[in-house]
Structure 1
Amino acid sequence: MTGALDIVVLGLSITSSWGNGHATTYRGLLRELAARGHRVTFLERDVPWYAAARDCPDPAGVRTALYGSLEELRDRFGAAVREADAVIVGSYVPDGVAVGDWVLATARGLTAFYDIDTPVTLAALAGGGGGNGGTDYLAARQIAAYRLYLSFTGGPTLRRLEREFGAPMARALYCSADPALHRPQEVAVDWALGYLGTYSPDRQPVLERLLLEPARALPGERFVVAGAQYPDGIAWPGNVARIAHLEPPRHPGFYSAQRFTLNVTRADMVRAGWSPSVRLFEAACCGTPIISDPWPGLDSLFRPGREIVVARTAAEVLEVLTGMTAEAAAALGRRARTRVLAAHTAAHRAAELEGHLHAALARRAVPARPAPAAPAAPPSVSALRRIAKGTAAG
């Protein structure tokens, strides 16, 4: 670390994990950032759906404050944003375009955007959604204005952000697991296969293929799906249990009660690749064997066949559930946990974020090179003759 920073983060939520994966990411990342000596303030819009389900109202290591409107944000926290060394605006912040414009106009320090939904953002940018040439939380014109673009997606997307959208500095900042929370639990194994995730229309066909079809084919086994916002009309097989919401402290026990857990990726993230979900790292850190849908970049995080199983069809899932021995599955889970502990914890991400912030601040501190002086006009013929005569006379 080259110096402690005063950091303000404006994010979707850190106090409530209901229906979102942002909160658990922020909790671990910012706690570890504070542990490295930085001062961190998190500003969150007070909305009723999170107010009714605040499972962490006072996150460790972070000063957290709620605001009710843009006006209140400006009035109460203008000085904090203006004086901070770095101000980070996250994706899906309510009125995020207006919040971003205010931050960009107010902050004297480094400004950054943290996109926990990069492929979704870029799909909206391509479609001109949100009426802003972008989304409701980010306008295309703002990308070049933020001095640092932190992305949940790595790979070619980072080059695209810089080349097509003018981001001065785009860097991957993946989600992570928290070893203090995510660890194997000594519990009974209740389910052959489970899934944890909020409902998404583009994920549902994959969930149907990789979990519900195997459940119908194995009526003697038990399965489970946990997550919010699933429509009432879904035809769940009788051997698939449903859990409407699972608070983060219960995640390790949930994963440990499964022989295998399923990772399903949103369509935009499959197309972009290099977009691991927070549930992927959490489950691996709990030592639970993972079956995942395939996407580019997955093999850069986990070794297929050694640390994770990749499946495209119900038949492939059934082959794993019925053919892999308990010993082989346990070894798979142990190797995945080792990988996460070596490279994908909240502490790793905090160190990466610190490095990105200092690099961006260093870039910002370098003064612009002065424009080269215009070349002098060539001397006239008469001037050259005078010079020549003077030289001869000397």
Structure 2
Amino acid sequence: MKIAFYGSSLLSSYWNGAATYYRGLLSALARHGHDITFFEPDVHDRSAHRDIGMPDWCRVIVYEGTPEAMRAAAAQAAEADVVVKASGVGFEDDALLAAVLQAARGDAVTVFWDVDAPATLAEMREAPDHPLRRSLPDLDLVLTYGGGDPVVSAYRSLGARACQPIYNAHDPQTHHPVAADPRFAADLAFLGNRLPDREHRVDAFFLAAARALPARRFLIGGAGWHDKAMPANVRSLGHVATADHNVFNASPTAVLNISRASMATTGFSPATRVFEVAGAGGCLISDVWPGIECFFAPGEEILIARDGLDVAEAVEALTPDRAAEIGRRARQRALADHTYDRRAVEVDRILRDTRRARSREAAE
């Protein structure tokens, strides 16, 4: 099927945590025979921070950040069998949704793909006239990158015809073990952009652990931390390009995952970082959230922490051999159960079932 996908950016991960998810999932869908065009606006300085070239598995159309260019891009939805509008595109999101729904053919499957369901649902609850809330009955399907039953139930209660989580996953082609690099040597490393509903959790889990272990080395990567006050044993790297994620995850003794507050509360929302670390064979320590045991076995494939003291205790107790064993088991689990190819099989089935249902409805 021809898929028109309107998202934030496929070419740049700069201030764009969905990039890894898009790349892994869409490349897998392409391997299953889908013809994909990805539309992304040229905004937020992402063109200057591209970390992949034009892929051979997907056509990418970068349009100017103007209403006219947005409408011209949206008009091309008319050529697609499946039209996807993702959340958080970053330019005229509401107008873009309206435009692609207007342009989509009557027989096309229309999808809203939510990469931040807790935030989106909170917005709709606060605004009964929210444009997405008004559009839900007109969409065939809502897909989310996490959230489990609570998110599905919430979307259905707001008018969605169908909702299905498609979780983050591991792409073995891009995230795999590599040799350690002294640039990223540390006892504990964390990678994530500075965001309002994550910063206090970084303080509580990462910086608190660093203060508790002044003799240990800590490493933080991601945009926005340059003016954040940190303990002397914390080294800040700034933005870490996707090409360096494997070595970032493979070099420290352990890597910390810190979910944003809304994701941690909702649960069943493993971040892309979780699977990137597992794919690289890294030892992952994660904040605890509902459903984590559905993805990796605590204590065997992942270590979990309730606060910074738990993080500090885990770092203190880790030996290189123990860290390597946890990373090895995590990678085995990711390869067995959590690849993007597995997720793509699920998406392919959902899209084909939805299209067949639409055809039956039209024939009746």
Structure 1 residue corresponding to 2:203, chosen from 201, 208, 221: 208
Three-state SS of the structure 1 residue aligned to 2:124 is helix
Q: 1:364 to 1:219 in 2, by over 3 A?
A: same
Match of 1:338 among 317, 321, 332: 332
Whole-Å separation in 2 of the counterparts to 1:114 and 1:195:
27
Hey, what does 1:95 align to over in structure 2?
A: 92
In 1, Cα distance between the equivalents of 2:287 and 2:311? Answer: 10
Describe the SS at the equivalent of 2:330: helix
CA spacing shift, 1:48–1:306, aligned 2, 3 Å: closer
What does 1:273-312 correspond to in 2, within 5 Å? 273-312=267-306
Aligned residues: 358
In structure 1, how many angstroms separate the alpha carbons of the residues matched to 2:323 and 2:235?
23
Alpha-carbon RMSD: 1.9
Offset of 1:188 from its aligned partner? Answer: 4.5
Could you say what secondary structure the match of 2:11 adopts? coil
Query: What is the identity, as a one-letter code, of the residue corresponding to 2:7?
Result: G
Question: Measured at CA, do residues 95 and 77 of structure 1 come closer, stay the same or move farther in structure 2, by a change above 3 Å?
Answer: closer
What TM-score comes out, normalization by structure 1 length? 0.86
What code does the residue aligned with 1:98 have?
A: A
Partner of 2:180: 187
Q: One-letter code of the match for 1:97?
A: D
| Separation in 1, partners of 2:349, 2:154 | 19
- Residue in 2 that maps onto 1:392: none
| Deviation of 1:71 (Å) | 2.3
Q: Which residue of 2 aligns with 1:24?
A: 20
Q: Structure 2 vs 1, CA of residues 217 and 98 (structure 1 numbering), >3 Å: closer, same or farther? A: same
Tell me the SS of whatever aligns to 1:269: helix
CA contact (8 A) 1:123 1:268 kept: no
Equivalent residue number for residue 113 of structure 1:
112
Select 1:145's aligned residue among 114, 117, 138. 138
Q: CA deviation at 1:271?
A: 1.7
1:227-238 to 2 correspondence within 5 Å? 227-230=222-225, 232=227, 234-238=228-232
Look up the equivalent residue of 2:138 and give its one-letter code.
A
Residues 156 and 163, structure 2, Cα contact 8 Å, conserved in 1? no
Higher mean C-alpha displacement, 186-195 vs 90-99: 186-195
- Per-residue CA distance 1:166-201 (angstroms, 9 max, x = gap): 111101111222211211111156100010111122
Distance of 1:165 and 1:191 partners within structure 2: 46
Assess if the C-alpha contact under 8 Å between 1:16 and 1:57 holds in 2: no
1:359 paired residue number: 353
Which is worse superposed, 62-71 or 155-164?
Answer: 155-164
Which amino acid is 1:28 matched to?
G
Q: Which runs of 5+ in 2 are unaligned?
A: none
Quick one: structure 1 residues 106 and 177, their matched pair in 2 at CA, closer, same or farther if it must change by over 3 Å?
same
8 Å Cα contact 1:154/1:171 also seen in 2:
no
Q: Aligned partners of 1:57 and 1:252: how far apart in 2?
A: 18
Determine which structure has more spread, i.e. the larger CA radius of gyration: 1
Consecutive unaligned residues of structure 1, counting only runs of 5 or more, are 371-394
Task: Give the alignment's TM-score, normalised by structure 2.
Answer: 0.93
Q: What is the CA–CA distance in structure 1 between the aligned matches of 2:280 and 2:72, rounded to whole Å?
A: 43
